[in-house]
């Protein structure tokens, strides 16, 4: 029988955790003839009664486990800890606040078991109804921007709610970078993802843990983790300077203007030349830094999805994600 481990990050969620647990018990019963469902809660340094509730649940239910952090490290750290500890054949991640409808876990499991070409089934919202307008506006701009400048495509509306085969979960953990942006990582590791679409649902209880500025910083993290295009900006600035330099120099030499204006044009031309040279140097530095950045992150050169023929049994060196 398959085992499904569901990783659930929690930060000050005492108001909703029991509702979530009850709903998940129902889902577990629905799946019981096919798969065993385990709940792996990661308490991200809660200061309310979350840990007490998790302790009680894990004592009375052998399908529940929890990890509790020494302080709040952020949802990304909680997701990583959960994925590292999860040992199911299928690993799911979801929020505890019921914004990720638990009943979709059944559909995700069926899709994965019935279609062997799928490695992951993820959920995305078709609407952002109920979300503050400013947040939706900036979220949309963010997805547009990142998809334009990064090779890693990030689906607008995708939630951190998905079920993966074990191989994919291992690949996600193998990306040892510290500035983690899971939406990007799930896409970067590849594999085939099927999508379930649903309407946005509001939190069952409690408040969102994200402030506007927290989300803004997270978006910047995503951009910096998945593209080095901003490092090319000095080259664009240098290009502009090198176009302006001869124009200003010619104007200074041949335009019939007063001496002061001629001097001003001449100084501007020299300034453009110098700035262009500085920007070119910065661009070159940026180019090398982007290579260093890639080396430091040390992402796997490739990830193997399946093997066949004479490679089937061989545990090759290329299985570097292990
Ligand atoms: N969360 C966490 N650590 C944090 C912030 C949030 O583990 O520092 C958890 C939270 O308990 C919830 C999930 O991440 O299960 C999503 O958080 P939230 O609902 O506040 O985000 P939103 O849905 O508003 O984006
Ligand atoms: Mg939420």
Q: Which of 114, 318, 76, 313 is nearest to 217 (CA)?
A: 76
Distance, CA of 159 to CA of 123 (rounded, Å): 6
Ligand 1 pocket residue status of 72, Cβ below 6 Å:
yes
Q: Going by DSSP bridges, is the β-strand pair 2-10/90-93 parallel, antiparallel, or unpaired?
A: parallel
Helices (H) and strands (E) in the chain, counts: 10, 7
Task: Render pLDDT for 114-131 as a digit per residue (tens, 0 to 9).
Answer: 999 999 999 998 888 777
Q: Which residue among 95, 96, 219 is best mutated to probe the pocket of ligand 1, counting the most ligand atoms within 8 A of its Cβ?
A: 95
Whether the CB of 96 sits within 6 Å of ligand 1? yes
Pairing of strands 120-125, 158-165: antiparallel
- Distance between CA atoms of residues 159 and 203, nearest Å: 14
Q: How far apart are CA 76 and CA 78, in angstroms?
A: 5
What is the reported pLDDT for 245?
97
> Chain centroid to CA 112: how far?
22
Place of tokens 């679409």: 197
CA 129 to chain centre: 22
Residue nearest to atom 21 of ligand 1 (CA): 208
Bridge partners for 39 per DSSP:
6, 64
Q: Is 139 helix (H, G, I), strand (E, B) or coil?
A: helix
- In ligand 1, the atom with minimum distance to the C-alpha of 96 is 15
Cβ of 78 closer than 6 Å to ligand 1, yes or no, is yes
Please report, for residues 158, 218, 289, the alpha-carbon distance to residue 294 in angstroms, rounded to integers and kept in the order given.
26, 20, 9
Spans of all domains in the chain: 2-140+156-210, 229-297
Gap between the Cα atoms of 95 and 97, Å rounded:
6
Q: Are strands 35-43 and 2-10 parallel, antiparallel or unpaired?
A: parallel
What's residue 15's pLDDT?
95
Per-residue model confidence (pLDDT) at position 157? 87
The yes-or-no verdict on residue 111 having pLDDT over 60 is yes
Confidence label for 58 from pLDDT (cuts 50, 70 and 90): very high
Mean pLDDT across the stretch 64-89? 97
Structure tokens at 73: 């490290």
Q: Which pLDDT tens digit goes with each residue over 7-45?
A: 999 999 999 999 999 999 999 999 989 999 999 999 999
Cα dihedral across residues 222, 216, 82, 162: positive or negative: negative
- Two tokens, residue 66: 């929890």
pLDDT above 80 (res 96): yes
Cα-based angle 145, 182, 31 (whole degrees, multiple of 5): 125
Q: How far apart are alpha carbons 112 and 127 in whole angstroms?
A: 25
Which of the residue ranges 83-87, 194-198, 247-251, 309-313 would you say has the lowest mean pLDDT? 309-313
Is 12 a pocket residue for ligand 1 (Cβ < 6 Å)?
Answer: no
Burial of 52 (0-12, 13-18, 19+ CB in 10 A): exposed
- Taking residues 226-233, report their average pLDDT: 90
Q: What atom of ligand 1 comes closest to residue 207's alpha carbon?
A: 20
- Confidence (pLDDT) at 200: 81
322 pLDDT above the threshold of 60: no
Q: In what order do the strands lie in the sheet with 64-68?
A: 64-68, 35-43, 2-10, 90-93, 158-165, 120-125, 193-198
- Minimal CA–CA distance to 269: which of 253, 247, 245? 245
**CB of 101 shorter than 6 A to ligand 1:** no
| CATH fold label, 2-140+156-210 | Spore Coat Polysaccharide Biosynthesis Protein SpsA; Chain A (3.90.550)
Q: What is the average per-residue pLDDT within 86-112?
A: 96
């Amino acid at each position: 029988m398959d085992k499904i481990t569901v990783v659930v990050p929690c930060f000050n969620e005492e108001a909703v955790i029991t509702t979530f647990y009850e709903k998940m018990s129902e889902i577990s019963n629905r799946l019981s003839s096919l798969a065993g469902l385990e709940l792996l809660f990661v308490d991200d340094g809660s200061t309310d009664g979350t840990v007490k509730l998790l302790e009680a649940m894990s004592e009375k239910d052998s399908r529940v486990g929890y990890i509790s952090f020494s302080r709040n490290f952020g949802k990304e750290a909680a997701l990583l800890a959960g994925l590292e500890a999860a040992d199911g054949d299928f690993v799911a991640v979801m929020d505890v606040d019921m914004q990720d409808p638990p009943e979709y876990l059944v559909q995700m499991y069926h899709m994965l078991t019935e279609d062997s070409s799928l490695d992951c089934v993820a959920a995305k919202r078709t609407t952002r109804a109920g979300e503050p307008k400013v947040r939706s506006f900036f979220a949309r701009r963010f997805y547009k921007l990142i998809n334009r400048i990064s090779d890693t495509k990030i689906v607008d509306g995708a939630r951190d709610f998905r079920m993966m085969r074990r191989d994919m979960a291992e690949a996600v953990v193998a990306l040892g970078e510290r500035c983690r942006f899971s939406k990007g990582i799930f896409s970067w590791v590849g594999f085939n993802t099927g999508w379930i679409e649903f309407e946005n649902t509001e939190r069952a209880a409690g408040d969102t843990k994200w402030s506007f500025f927290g989300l803004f910083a997270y978006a910047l993290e995503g951009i910096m983790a998945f593209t080095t295009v901003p490092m090319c900006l000095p080259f664009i600035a240098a290009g502009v300077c090198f176009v302006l330099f001869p124009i200003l120099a010619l104007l200074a030499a041949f335009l019939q203007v007063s001496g002061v204006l001629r001097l001003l044009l001449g100084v501007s031309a020299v300034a453009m030349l110098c700035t262009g040279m500085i920007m070119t140097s910065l661009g070159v530095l940026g180019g090398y830094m982007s290579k260093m950045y890639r080396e430091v992150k040390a992402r796997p050169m490739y990830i193997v999805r399946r093997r066949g023929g004479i490679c089937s049994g061989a545990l090759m060196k290329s299985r570097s994600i292990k």
